[in-house]
Amino acid sequence: MQISFIKCHGSGNDFPLVDARALTLSDEEWANVARLLANREGPVGGDGLLLLTPGDAAHDFGMRMFNSDGSEAETCLNGLRCTARLGFELTGLNEARVKLKTSSATARRCEAIADGVVTIETRAGPASTDPADVGVKVDAPVVDSQIPGLPSERRFTGVAMPNPHLVTFVDAVDEAELVALGDWCEAGPDLIPARANVSFVVAEPQGLFVRTYERGVGLTDSCGSAMAASAFAAGLTGRKEFGTAVMIRNRGGMVVAEAQAPESGGLVSIRGNATFTYDAGIEIDPAAGRLGELVVHNRRFDEAKAWGALVASLD
């Protein structure tokens, strides 16, 4: 079959994005499409696959997200900005209620974070520390505490956005340590059978720096739900104030996040880019695991340039 897609990124977290509202592939076929298109050795590459899906009585449209290993995630907040942008362009809406795998979120167009950078604000949650939601086999919420059985002596906060996150605050990010712990979680140990996204976070005077090992992906330049979970964890542990905008930097760029306290609803909003880099088509045989030649119809140089200027200004 021929698949048309937009290559996009939210804060450097990159994906092929498909308007799947009229496509009827099985879950297994979509998982194969994700593995093929997101393969970094292939012609497209990405951290996963995003699908714009139909809405229902309560939602304007929906989003599904498959990691590059083919597993489907509950949400993807960098991806949500890109998917919402496509939804807005195709429906004429400027704000929407979006159906996710197990929850809902809202999205709206908003003022640009920098010249020429298409910017979307999403609001998701409520963030939860309930171990049953986070998927960690412990008796009580993990908030700034060690997790018995985890091969790390660091203090973690477990947050579901609703996808599972383990967040720890560090003085400096040790990538080798992050990867070793992320790999351990990827094995689906008894402690965390559904695995987890793991983030090492540096609290800086002007905001947070977040480095994430994503479930189903590995080390990524940026993870939106990890930034949301980190903003929430920073509020819970008194490192940042709830209800205040916090700039979050990552390897791919930045977003602005604002987390509500649990007693105020526990929602987390993120304002950031939804950048489209090119529009393309490719012949794909999901069952045979075969990709044809990539045909790029349109490169969005202006958007790439605007984003590049923002990233350069962060140095």
Q: How far is CA 234 from the centre of its chain?
A: 18
Rounded to 5 degrees, what are φ and ψ at 311? Answer: -60, -40
Residue from 53, 157, 168, 197 binding ligand LBFN2T5F (CB under 6 A)? 197
Q: Please identify which residue in 158, 182, 207, 216 interacts with ligand LBFN2T5F, judged by CB under 6 A.
A: 216
- Binding site, annotated residues: 13, 67, 163, 197, 214-215, 224-225
Q: Which helix (H) or strand (E) holds 80?
A: helix 77-91
Shortest Å distance, C-beta 234 to ligand LBFN2T5F? 17
Q: How far apart are CA 157 and CA 142, in angstroms?
A: 5
- Of how many residues is the chain composed? 315
| Residues of each annotated binding site for substrate | 13, 67, 163, 197, 214-215, 224-225
99 is an interface residue for ligand LBFN2T5F by CB under 6 A:
no
- Measuring CA to CA, which residue among 247, 267, 304 is closest to residue 103? 267
**Binding residues for ligand LBFN2T5F restricted to 148-167, rule: CB under 6 A:** 163
In sequence order, what DSSP letters do the residues of 6-54 get, joined into one string?
EEEEETTEEEEEEE-TT----HHHHHHHHHHHH-TTSSS--SEEEEEEE
Q: Does 76 bind ligand LBFN2T5F (CB under 6 A)?
A: yes
**Among positions 119, 128, 199, 225, the unique one binding ligand LBFN2T5F when judged by CB under 6 A:** 225
Structural contact between residues 81 and 10, judged by C-beta atoms closer than 8 angstroms: yes
Q: Is the link from the previous residue into 43 a cis peptide, with omega within 30 of 0?
A: no
| Nearer residue to ligand LBFN2T5F within complex by CB, 76 or 310 | 76
Q: Return the residues of window 43-62 that contact ligand LBFN2T5F according to CB under 6 A.
A: 47
User: What token pair was written down for 258?
Assistant: 């604002």
79 binds ligand LBFN2T5F (CB under 6 A): yes
> Applying CB under 6 A, which of residues 12, 70, 87, 224 lies at the interface with ligand LBFN2T5F?
224
Residue type, 238: G
Q: Which residues are marked as active site?
A: 76, 223
Residues at the site binding ligand LBFN2T5F, with contacts judged by CB under 6 A: 13, 47, 65, 67, 73, 76-79, 163, 197, 214-217, 223-225
